[in-house]
Structure 1
Amino acid sequence: MISSQMLKGMLEGCVLKIIAEHETYGYEISQKLITYGFGDISEGTIYPMLLRMSNKGFIQAEYRESSTGPRRKYFSLTNQGEEELKEFERQWKELSQAVTNLFDGTSSE
């Protein structure tokens, strides 16, 4: 299981990636994270994060009827969210490569 401290800095970018794949809602996001190996991320973590990302202008929400219960709030990326996701991916690749270099004993110089 990935520690919550490690997840803190990465989770927002990962949620942006999930939303970029298709419009989705909070519970589905948490289930996707589980299938990718993130462990059980509580809805108490997901929903406040979605609100923060909405307030930052990264995502937008739309309520839709559900065939299995109450209306659901579906999220999609804004243009600003797409840019944020690209920046997250760039930074992640740089960090990932640096950690790989460190553990492989490979210098980037």
Structure 2
Amino acid sequence: MNTQFKKGVLEMIVLLSVYKKDMYGYELVSEVSKVVNVNEGTIYPLLKRLTNEHYFETYLVESSEGPPRKYYRITYSGKERMNELLGEWNEFHETVNNFIKESDLHEER
């Protein structure tokens, strides 16, 4: 996938993932990678920013496999941001699709 496309939708995908259920970092990397190929070096700075902007809050849960895991939970502000991004995405998607249809690219020239 084009890097710029990925960058444009990554925040929305992360917000949607945590909206579905609270997740810890590595779990979130795995979930997001089902949609776009990302690594921890991409996700963790985004999680830090989203937490600093109060879209996520964090809490620790003990783990039988090592140290406690930091879980991310979406906040009310995070849900508002997610809905804002979804609205922008839907409008953008519709506009681009309409443009493609109107350009008759699907017909052989």
Q: Distance in 1 between matches of 2:57 and 2:3?
A: 26
**CA offsets 1:33-67 (integer angstroms, 9 cap, x no match):** 2223x12x110110010000011110001111112
Q: Distance in 1 between matches of 2:13 and 2:32?
A: 8
- Show the counterpart of 1:95: 92
TM-score under structure 2 length normalisation: 0.89
TM-score under structure 1 length normalisation: 0.89
Q: Distance in 1 between matches of 2:64 and 2:87?
A: 39
- Show the counterpart of 2:46: 49
Secondary structure at the counterpart of residue 62 of structure 1? strand
- Show the counterpart of 1:24: 23
Q: How many residues align?
A: 103
Q: Distance in 2 between matches of 1:34 and 1:50?
A: 15
Q: Distance in 2 between matches of 1:44 and 1:78?
A: 23
Report the RMSD for the aligned CA atoms in angstroms: 1.2
- Show the counterpart of 2:2: 3
Unpaired segments of 5 or more residues in structure 2? 104-109
Q: How many Å apart are 1:102 and its aligned residue?
A: 1.2
Report % sequence identity. 35
- Give runs of ≥4 in structure 1 deviating > 2 Å: none
Q: Distance in 2 between matches of 1:68 and 1:4?
A: 34
Q: Distance in 1 between matches of 2:90 and 2:5?
A: 16
Unpaired segments of 5 or more residues in structure 1? none
Q: Distance in 1 between matches of 2:96 and 2:41?
A: 30
User: In the alignment, residue 32 of structure 2 is paired with which amino acid?
Assistant: L
